Amino acid sequence: QVQLVESGGGLVQPGGSLRLSCAASGIFFGINAMGWYRPAPGKERELVARITSGGSTNYADSVKGRFTISRDNAKNTVYLQMSSLKPEDTAVYYCYGQILGALYRAPYDYWGQGTQVTVSS
């Protein structure tokens, strides 16, 4: 019923910037939170950045000061502005959304297909 569509990944040199976008489409009541995750050693994935419906944000320590998450509520879209990119940022970035169902407003977790970010000289 809900699909998360990501865009904006690509190849960039160290120190460069990229902006990722993720739009939620389908039938739903609302969105509790959206964010971005990437694989990490010893874990399926780690939180990169997250933003709630109230506007609160969370960032991984490794990206604080370099990445900024934002949202466009009218478009049901979340963005991740990535600056001062490092080779260690190279990963598949997955969009996450906790979406409230249309009928009972129950929360469900959704994931995008992932978009590749490669930081290399």
Which of 38-47, 54-63, 75-84, 97-106 is the least confident region?
38-47
Is residue 72 within 8 Å of residue 116, measured between CB atoms?
Answer: no
Give the pLDDT score at 1.
Answer: 84
Say how far apart CA 100 and CA 54 lie, in whole Å: 15
42 pLDDT more than 90: no
State residue 96's pLDDT score.
98
CA dihedral 27, 28, 29, 32 (to 10 degrees): -150
Query: Model confidence over 52-96: pLDDT tens digits?
Result: 999 999 999 999 999 999 999 999 999 999 999 999 999 999 999
Say what the pLDDT of residue 44 is.
Answer: 87
| Residue 43 banded pLDDT, cuts 50, 70, 90 | confident
Place 107 in a pLDDT band, splitting at 50, 70 and 90: very high
User: In this structure, how many other beta carbons lie within 10 angstroms of the beta carbon of residue 82?
Assistant: 27
